[in-house]
Amino acid sequence: MTQPLLFPTSRASPPLPSPAVRRAGTRRVPVALVLAALLAVAPVPVAGAAEYPVRGDSEPRITEETPYVPSPRIVVDTMLRMAGVNARDFLIDLGSGDGRIIITAARELRARGFGVDYDPRLVRLATENAAREGVSDSTAFYQQDIFKTDLGQATVVTMYLLPEYNAVLKPRLLALRPGTRIVSHDYGIGDWEPDAQETIPVPEKPVGAMKQSTIYVWVVPAQVAGRWRSRVQTVRGIADLEIDIAQRNQHITGTARVRGCEVPIERPFLKSSYLSFRLEAGGETLLFQGHVSNDRITGEQIRGERHTRWRAPKMGSARG
């Protein structure tokens, strides 16, 4: 790859703030100031939503532009490794700079993908870099606002954006297909706890006093909140089972009703579309595991040594 631009230096054609940023009332902040802010805060541990700059209401807002700071090679490699990127993946890099994440994924792992950046000079540079690296067929770079980018094609989304950008993006990221991996360099996504994180030394990092980076990975969970109805095998025969699930990001809690008894669901676990939990009901332990798809859980119930098919449609859905 060519020597990366550290920052777009020419002010002859400064990148315009994106419409979304302008709508959010962004004022242009000198790059030095933004970097000073980055230096002061990077790396930032995953923080609760309340720690983000919130201006008078509970919605996260963009108050500063994310400047161009390239992710060093070791960070790119770690991001791709932690996300388990492979040849079946389609990556979208939000704010793609010189294209290095998408280009490395295509060149080293035969993945496909595109990057978007609002700076046309960076989009041109990324496009040239992709051609030089021989991956033009499997990559593309667009001058586009990340907040207007359709993410539907992604199996992996990569980001190196300020935390308030991540917080604004959170609802759209959580709504992606279950199993989609989100990878972020240095910043969390509001109150969404990462499924994995690693901090690595990065001596060549252009910002931050610590010369280290933290990489976070999230796996988009299925949306399982609501009431699910099924039948359950118990020692006293088959019974109706109703389960109420509450969800916050990938964390679930809930209660179940069997034979007029209400019991908490225990050891609840949700990753991607896989869900499992257990119930202590009528003096026995019942285990459930399955996959959620189209408002239906399909899997098995385990009671002692016995495995039986388990299906639970969501109540109130068209299929319920």
Ligand X SMILES: C[S@@+](CC[C@H](N)C(=O)[O-])C[C@H]1O[C@@H](n2cnc3c(N)ncnc32)[C@H](O)[C@@H]1O
Question: If we measure between CA atoms, which residue out of 253, 297, 294, 257 comes closest to residue 274?
Answer: 297
DSSP 8-state code for residue 63: -
- Which of 103, 122, 252, 312 forms a contact with ligand X (CB under 6 A)? 122
From first CA to last CA, the distance across the chain in angstroms is 53
Place of tokens 């890099």: 93
> Is the Cβ of residue 62 or residue 243 nearer to ligand X in the bound state?
62
CA distances from 70 to 5, 138, 257 (A): 8, 21, 53
Quick one: 135 or 224, whose CB is closer to ligand X?
135
Indicate the residue whose CB is closest to ligand X: 95
CA 247, CA 238: separation in Å to the nearest integer? 28
CA distance 284 to 188: 41
Nearer to ligand X, 123 or 258 (CB): 123
CA–CA distance, 82 with 79 (Å, rounded to integer): 5
> Is the CB of 138 or the CB of 158 nearer to ligand X?
158
Query: Exposed e or buried b for every residue in 66-87, given b needs 16+ CB within 10 A?
Result: bbbbbbbeebbebbbebbebee
- What number of helices (H) and strands (E) belong to the chain? 6, 16
> Which residue lies nearer to ligand X by CB, 114 or 147?
147
Q: At 117, which amino acid appears?
A: D
Nearer to ligand X, 75 or 256 (CB): 75
Site string for ligand X, 58-97 (x = CB under 6 A): -------xx-xxxx---------------------x-xxx
- Identify the three-state secondary structure at position 171: helix
Tell me if 187 contacts ligand X by CB under 6 A.
Answer: no
Minimum distance between the CB of residue 220 and ligand X, rounded to whole angstroms?
20
- Contact code string over 225-264 relative to ligand X, x by CB under 6 A: ----------------------------------------
Out of 91, 92, 114, 118, the only residue in the binding site for ligand X (CB under 6 A) is 118
**Number of residues engaging ligand X in binding (CB under 6 A):** 26
Stretch touching ligand X by CB under 6 A, among 28-36, 47-55, 113-121, 263-271: 113-121
Interacting positions 17-46 with ligand X (CB under 6 A): 18, 21
Q: Which of 1, 100, 106, 273 binds ligand X (CB under 6 A)?
A: 100
* Residue burial 277-310, b: 16+ Cβ < 10 Å; e: rest: bbbebeeeebbbbbebeebbbebebbbeeeeeeb
User: Considering only 110-118, 173-181, 226-234, 311-319, which stretch makes contact with ligand X by CB under 6 A?
Assistant: 110-118
Binding window for ligand X (CB under 6 A); candidates: 139-147, 208-216, 272-280, 302-310: 139-147
Residues at the contact surface with ligand X, assessed by CB under 6 A: 15, 18, 21, 65-66, 68-71, 93, 95-97, 100-101, 116-119, 122, 145-147, 160-161, 185
